[in-house]
Structure 1
């Protein structure tokens, strides 16, 4: 059965996110938290065949979509099936092979459709899994100095809060403070299309 989901945002941002990843991906495995439809995962697995892209999502409908995308793109021999990871249910249950080969963690368009405690959990568990020099990348919209970077982000933020009062675009400085608590430094802030950013964090000491 074809359970693939399609998100228009993936079509727009997958190439530019891939360009950011190409700067830092070397070898080993990458864990994606909140993989959604899985469209990003299969694109990045094909673009970076020398790594293993491990998707994850707490929602069954998303994991079914990811599995369908893996099969559709003929990646079943190269790409593992998605993990069931709820970012707040810690410790995350990941295979030993992934823990040993992990070089970085990526989360795309996740923290603004989640409560703040999810951001806290993301950095806490990433800090436990990653070693010195390894990366955590966040992609999405952010407020800077508690101000929106565009009018469209202001309206988007309001629409998120109407869906769930705990959701909303996060303030970059607060996210950075949380990263420091868990042994990360903010390496780069990259402006992306459609008023989004890629934020690269590096672990500054071993777990």
Structure 2
């Protein structure tokens, strides 16, 4: 049988610092929807360490869906749900369906997506979070961000240039713009936390 697991070296490097913040910021119960789970390495690492929360991974690309499925088969956990296909720009997400009434989403986690996708993806993420999260529900972002129009490191500036050369719609986002989009959807920015390798985690809460 073919092993479809993908391996992301950054996921192994950043998983422990991210987990420490998740333990501080996540609610005590419900389902965490991981938007754009990538390889699935974060999902299998975080889920068993965050019980009793349920962990729902999701992806848009089929190869990444396959990778998550194989990672879960390799390292199953009772609170780790099968991955969902998710296009955040759609007007309704699978977790809004009746099947999720007994495991409502109380938090959304998204790592390293909004800079490698069109701005419409960020807008879709915020719109979905605004629809799905209950009052007090939380959205947590991880990745590189500009602050007041300025990059926080030369390496991020170079990375931004590389992204834009690949696709003009990509690029390191200014956190001001992200916060503005969040507010349109009833999400308040609570706090930012600097992370290793010139990244940040940002916490938003549904009003």
Equivalent residue pairs, number:
203
- Structure 2 residues not aligned, in runs of 5+: none
TM-score, normalised to structure 2, is 0.94
**Deviation of residue 97 (structure 1)?**
4.5
In the alignment, which residue of structure 2 is the partner of 1:4? 5
Alignment partners' CA distance in 1, 2:139 and 2:196: 20
In the alignment, which residue of structure 2 is the partner of 1:66? 68
What secondary structure sits across from 1:70 in the alignment?
A: helix
**Deviation of residue 12 (structure 1)?**
1.0
RMSD across aligned C-alpha pairs, in angstroms? 1.2
Deviations 1:141-190 (A, max 9, x none): 00001110000000001111111111000011011011111101111100
In the alignment, which residue of structure 2 is the partner of 1:51? 53
In the alignment, which residue of structure 2 is the partner of 1:24? 25
Deviations 1:68-109 (A, max 9, x none): 10011133x442111000111221122434355211001000
Where do residues 112-191 of structure 1 align in structure 2 (5 Å cutoff)?
112-191=115-194
What secondary structure sits across from 1:83 in the alignment?
A: strand
CA contact (8 A) 2:130 2:187 kept: yes
CA contact (8 A) 2:57 2:82 kept: yes
Cα separation, partners in 2 of 1:6 and 1:88, compared to 1, 3 Å: same
In the alignment, which residue of structure 2 is the partner of 1:79? 80
TM-score, normalised to structure 1, is 0.94
Cα separation, partners in 2 of 1:190 and 1:164, compared to 1, 3 Å: same
Alignment partners' CA distance in 2, 1:179 and 1:17: 21
What secondary structure sits across from 1:80 in the alignment?
A: strand
CA contact (8 A) 1:29 1:98 kept: no
Alignment partners' CA distance in 1, 2:150 and 2:121: 21
Tell me which stretches of 4 or more aligned residues in structure 1 moved more than 6 Å. Answer: none
